Amino acid sequence: MNGKAGTAIRLVDCAKTFPNGTRALDKTSLEMRGGETIVFLGPSGCGKTTLLRVIAGLESPDEGGRVYFDDEDVTSQPIEHRNVGMVFQSYALFPNMNVGDNIAYGLKVHGVAPDKRARRVDEMLRMMQISELRERRITELSGGQRQRVALARAIAVQPRVLLLDEPLTALDALLRERLRIEIDVLLHSLGITAAYVTHDQGEAMAIGDRIAVMNKGAIVQTGSPREIYYKPASSFVADFIGTMNRVTGTLRGGALELPGGRIDWADQQGSGEMQVLFRPNDARIVEEAGAPLRGVVEQQFFLGDRTRLHVTGVADRTVVVETTEHREFRVGQSIGLRIEPGALLRLRD
Amino acid sequence: MRRTPYFWLQLAFTLLVCSFLLVPVFMSIVAGLTENFFVGVKSGFTTRWIGVVWELYAPTIFRSMYIALATLAVTLVVGVPAAYVLAKRPGMATRLIEEFLVLPVAIPGLAIALALIITYGGFRDFRTSWGFILVGHVLYTLPFMVRSVLAVLSSFNFQVLEESAASLGAGFWRRFFGIVLPNARSGIVAGALTVVTLSIGEFNLTWMMHTPETMTLPVGLADSYASMRLEIGSAYTLVFFIMITPLLVALQRYGVQSTRTRKGA
């Protein structure tokens, strides 16, 4: 048990082709700083779980790929020698053992003496706030409790890296939110390097120090949640994370002309027709008189913390606008909009 | 609740069917304990015939027991890992192998016995040893063990359990004995009871394969029916009953239990 917090992980040219010829992962290189939480985000089948399994040692990369933990080349090490902690969507707790024995399992395998083992199990139970569950059978636990036990079991051995494969997907929304916060706090208080796989962009934004967005077996963009959200590198990323408006306008005389008005855009080069993107919360609702853009409310959705409007007439297609204002809108009502040029995005693809 | 005439009719029918099945069993037991069955129970009860059975056929009883245990040992050592491998690699090939494994159940025991005799009959020492019977029994019971274990292994995702054990540092053997086997226990026990019960009661194959030195209990039964007094044959049946009933009860109870735990998991 020589695990220390903050192992840096480096993948070099890791691809994965399965025996049946399916290419699950294209050549991928990636660096994870020690103590960093990185989220692999993407739709199902994008290769995110395969990437996680390559790091874990459950899959070996194709010829030429290498995996480093700090400076140690672990490519040929099977998972049992890598000292990684894993948390699965299905929890994967051992049904033949009670909660305490599940948490103690890794310690036992590592040859930790019984008294030290018991102390560590106590510590883990306290940390996850499940001390009263120690003697329980796994079948008697709720989903949230199971995932807490699974986390405790993975962390107990002080792994070099913690790998979480859709750990919250099987839980209901409220519990997911709560455990998400707990996991976030836990990962940062431990200072452990963590890789987290999810298809839920909200989860990715909340937990990741960095997000690696994946599609069709490749990482298409890596960056902080903010970068990914506001500076998507491709239309895939833009569409996958949150809602993105995509409108076509004409650039003329330092402004972008749209059917519903114009957006001053002095520093934009070129002219002619172009496609731009903007987030729903980047379109502000303003007084109709003198508004640079005008449209008509087609539908409104009250979401509690904000109101989402579908507005026609602004652009060549319906745009989505979100506001945190408390006012109510009517369908058919005309409204004014302002979009700052800084919020507009042009994508190459 | 008022019972309708229809209910009483059903009850009567059920009891009739039950008695149709149970009376012969009861008669057989009585015959084994009666001084003279042709005179009837008024000739008095005795355990004499059981003594005679013991004198004549004790070796067949012990032989049946150790062949059953040996069959169990072989099916455990071969069948459990086989089921594990089959569960781990699902696919066309696996399905085919599974079907092949089940074939001996579908083929008449006599035909299998004949095939074994044709093939191995030349090896005199083997042919006349109880090991020859063992081979037949293993062939016949192995599918039951494999199927039973396979069913349990397919009922939970043991591969992800193995992966999580591996991530915690456990090597293959530790995972197999510490995680896979304990969680497949219900299937292994159910399979084991089936194998022992089938082996003890196996007649078809064994009748064809046995030599006077390798006679088992069921073959002995046939022998006693053919050549002994009715009371002796019946007493022998009684002995067989006493041996097989606890196993059947255990099988029943464990079968019920394991389906319950699986539902709970």
Mutate to test the interface with A, among B164, B175, B186 (most CBs of A within 10 A): B164
Mean pLDDT of chain B: 85
Q: Give domain status of residue B36, yes or no.
A: no
* Cα dihedral B34, B39, B41, B45 sign: negative
| Span B186-192, average pLDDT | 89
Instruction: Note whether A83 contacts B182, CB cutoff 8 Å.
Output: no
CA distance A84 to chain B (A): 6
The predicted structure's pLDDT at residue A169: 86
What ipTM was estimated for this complex? 0.82
Q: Which residue has the higher pLDDT, B99 or B228?
A: B99
Cα dihedral A84→A89→A93→A99 (10° resolution): 90
Lowest average pLDDT, out of A68-82, A219-233, B40-54, B212-226, goes to B40-54
Lowest average pLDDT, out of A87-96, A199-208, B93-102, B171-180, goes to B93-102
| Span A174-202, average pLDDT | 90
**Number of structural domains chain B divides into:** 1
| Span A154-164, average pLDDT | 93
Q: Locate A217 and state its tokens.
A: 């077996």
Lowest average pLDDT, out of A139-148, A259-268, A287-296, B9-18, goes to A259-268
Q: Give domain status of residue B14, yes or no.
A: no
The predicted structure's pLDDT at residue A1: 39
Instruction: Note whether B167 contacts A153, CB cutoff 8 Å.
Output: no
**A169 class by beta-carbon count within 10 Å (0-12 exposed, 13-18 middle, 19+ buried):** middle
Contacting residues of B for A120, CB less than 8 Å apart: none
**B12 class by beta-carbon count within 10 Å (0-12 exposed, 13-18 middle, 19+ buried):** exposed
pLDDT, tens digit (0-9, with 9 covering 90-100), for A57-66 = 999 999 999 9
Q: Give domain status of residue B44, yes or no.
A: no
Q: Give domain status of residue B48, yes or no.
A: no
The predicted structure's pLDDT at residue B262: 45
Q: Give domain status of residue B15, yes or no.
A: no
The predicted structure's pLDDT at residue A348: 63
C-beta separation of B33 from B49 below 8 A: yes
pLDDT band at B257 (very low <50, low <70, confident <90, very high): low
Lowest average pLDDT, out of A297-311, A322-336, B101-115, B144-158, goes to B101-115
Instruction: Note whether B170 contacts A88, CB cutoff 8 Å.
Output: no
- Which of helix, strand or coil describes residue A289? coil
CA distance B249 to chain A (A): 25
Of residues A184, A183, A191, A241, the one with CA closest to residue A212: A241
| Span A46-62, average pLDDT | 93
pLDDT band at B264 (very low <50, low <70, confident <90, very high): very low
Return the ∠ at Cα B107 (arms to B104 and B111), rounded to 5°. Answer: 105
Q: Give domain status of residue B33, yes or no.
A: no
Q: Give domain status of residue B159, yes or no.
A: yes
Q: State the DSSP string of B26-45.
A: HHHHHHHHBS-TTT-GGG-B
What CATH number does residue B258 fall under? 1.10.3720.10
pLDDT, tens digit (0-9, with 9 covering 90-100), for B2-26 = 788 899 999 999 999 999 989 988 8
> Which residue ranges form the domains of chain A, and what is each CATH number?
9-240 (3.40.50.300), 245-343 (2.40.50.140)
Strands A255-258 and A319-323: unpaired
- Which of helix, strand or coil describes residue A268? coil
Q: Give the integer Cα–Cα distance in Å for A139 and A11.
A: 38
- For B11, half-sphere exposure in the C-beta direction (CA atoms, 13 angstrom radius) is 6
Contacting residues of A for B159, CB less than 8 Å apart: none
Helix (H) or strand (E) holding A67: strand A66-69
pLDDT, tens digit (0-9, with 9 covering 90-100), for A238-258 = 888 888 898 888 888 788 888
Contacting residues of A for B171, CB less than 8 Å apart: 80
Q: Locate A300 and state its tokens.
A: 């409104």
- Indicate whether B202 pLDDT > 70: yes
What is the count of residue pairs from A and B with beta carbons less than 8 Å apart?
65
Lowest average pLDDT, out of A135-139, B139-143, B220-224, goes to B220-224
Alpha carbon A337 to its chain centroid, in Å, reads 31
- Indicate whether A187 pLDDT > 80: yes
CA distance B159 to chain A (A): 9
The predicted structure's pLDDT at residue A5: 53
Domain range enclosing B199 = 58-226+238-264
Q: Give the integer Cα–Cα distance in Å for A137 and A150.
A: 13
> Could you say which DSSP state residue A30 is in?
E
pLDDT, tens digit (0-9, with 9 covering 90-100), for B50-73 = 888 887 888 888 888 889 999 999
The predicted structure's pLDDT at residue A10: 94
| Span A258-265, average pLDDT | 87
- Indicate whether A93 pLDDT > 60: yes
Contacting residues of A for B169, CB less than 8 Å apart: 80-81, 83, 106, 109-110, 157
Of chain A, the percentage scoring pLDDT greater than 70 comes to 98
Mutate to test the interface with B, among A55, A109, A157 (most CBs of B within 10 A): A109
CA distance A46 to chain B (A): 20
Q: Give domain status of residue B150, yes or no.
A: yes
Residues 6+ apart with CB under 8 A from A21: none
